[in-house]
Structure 1
Amino acid sequence: MFTAVLVSVAVVFVAELGDKSQLITMTYSLRHRWWVVLSGVGIAALLVHGLSVAIGHFLGMTLPQRPIAVAASLAFLMFAIWTWRDARRDEDDEEPRVAEPRFVVFAIVSSFVLAELGDKTMLATVALASDRNWAGVWIGATIGMVAADGVAIVVGRLMHKRLPERFLHYLASVLFLIFGLFMFVNGVLGLPGLATAVAAATGGIAALVAVTAWIRRRRTAAESAPEPAAVDADAAAARDATGY
């Protein structure tokens, strides 16, 4: 069992590096508290790898890929709309709101389970459970996934400290949109090349829109700023009135 734990931790941790689940974790950590995100990731890891162990060790079944891809893509598109609406609502408020964790854990768990079903990490867990101790594989795979996604949370929190919160909310919405489109085109239509092109085009359009909005705001701020002569005149008037 101990060997199964160690092997599963190593395999799943390496498999998760650079995987979409790390990007999803980082996206959630841009908007929510780290412990909320990590709790959701831990629950999802237990569920996903428990199912993987059951499939690999007890059932020997395969999962239907297309229905899972449809559900996952629709879920991420819904998360994109939800995140965008929260960002717009924050923009109307004077101070950005802190997202409440009431439904966040459920959203994290559901999105992770849908994203991981049929993923290479799950397939690796199925293979490990077929010839190793099932309990050790379950424990080790869960630890490996949580550890790898914990790295993504650290990266997300560092970004959160250095970048404006509203910008991060919009960024999270765009990332969810890219995930949803990629999963739909790749998993449902079976066109990986087109999926990559659609994801890249969506990211490029979002970047162009962001740069255009930034330039427009800078120009508006420059036009609304008082002229230096007017500032000097106001300062002189203030000195004359106060005698200083």
Structure 2
Amino acid sequence: MGLSLVEGLTKSLAMTVLSEIGDKTFFAAAILAMRYPRRLVLAGCLTALIVMTILSVFLGWAAPNLISRQWTHHITTILFFGFGFWSLWEGFADEGEAEEFRELEAKLNADLKAENGSTKRNSKGNDDLKKQQRPFLTQFFSPIFIKAFSINFFGEWGDKSQIATIGLATDENPLGVVLGGIVGQALCTTAAVLGGKSLASQISEKMVAISSGILFLVFGLHSFLSGAGES
């Protein structure tokens, strides 16, 4: 394809970090890590995001084989500009930081209460004993892993970062986009799981939205000035 692996990696990494920091899946990972074993939450969240990244890049790679490369290039350019202005609007129209975090926390709290009920204390000791007795790999197919996976996978589906990854893969080296996306997702998810609520509550959503908006506009301008296949 003649597309730069390094360029695809750096673009994907920068886009992923700025898109995922402060995103709902970032908040979900932070909240889940406060209630469940961190390694299971991290494994579930990362697996979901890696699968989503690979799937998105595959769709972006396959798009030029279904539609002409010139059309996919123009669509990608429009998407970058659209997401750029959208993110800037979100940043300047933000009415309060961490509002999404509080809403998601309340929702997960309600789900947790519904799941546990009055047997929470009695089941905790039994769960810890079972975890010690179970083989290491089987722990990653526990309800906690599945919950973390499903929340992040379906939370990311249709999100602008997923669509932007598809668009980026149409113009950049697919392997570079995959590697950059996975590294970016790993950095953001690990920070969310380890940092917990304190990190999530201190993030300036306004600045993240504005920064990601500027980045999308830069990608859009670069795509506009370069021809199809020259990115």
Q: TM-score, normalised to structure 1's length? A: 0.51
Preserved contact between residue 31 and residue 197 of structure 2 (Cα < 8 Å): no
Answering whether residue 194 of structure 2 is matched by residue 154 of structure 1, we say yes
Which of 75, 79, 90 matches 2:120? 90
> Whose relative contact order is higher, 1 or 2, with alpha carbons under 8 Å and at least 6 apart?
2
Preserved contact between residue 37 and residue 108 of structure 1 (Cα < 8 Å): yes
Which of 53, 56, 59 matches 2:60? 56
Secondary structure of 1:42's counterpart equals helix
Mapped to 2, the partners of 1:96 and 1:157 lie a distance apart of 27
Structure 1: unaligned runs, 5 residues or longer: 62-76, 160-244
Question: In the alignment, what sits opposite 1:193?
Answer: none
Preserved contact between residue 52 and residue 123 of structure 1 (Cα < 8 Å): yes
Preserved contact between residue 29 and residue 157 of structure 1 (Cα < 8 Å): no
Residues 88, 140 of structure 1: CA spacing in aligned structure 2 closer, same or farther, 3 A cutoff? farther
Cα deviation code 1:171-209 (max 9, x no counterpart): xxxxxxxxxxxxxxxxxxxxxxxxxxxxxxxxxxxxxxx
Preserved contact between residue 12 and residue 124 of structure 1 (Cα < 8 Å): no
Mapped to 2, the partners of 1:93 and 1:119 lie a distance apart of 36
What count of residue pairs does the alignment treat as equivalent?
A: 145
Preserved contact between residue 12 and residue 144 of structure 1 (Cα < 8 Å): yes
AA in 1 matched with 2:175? A
Question: In the alignment, what sits opposite 1:115?
Answer: 155
Q: TM-score, normalised to structure 2's length? A: 0.54
Structure 2: unaligned runs, 5 residues or longer: 67-105, 132-138, 200-231
Answering whether residue 142 of structure 2 is matched by residue 142 of structure 1, we say no
Preserved contact between residue 22 and residue 152 of structure 1 (Cα < 8 Å): yes
Residues 9, 92 of structure 1: CA spacing in aligned structure 2 closer, same or farther, 3 A cutoff? same
Secondary structure of 1:54's counterpart equals helix
Percent of aligned pairs with the same residue?
22
Tell me how large the CA RMSD over aligned residues is.
3.3
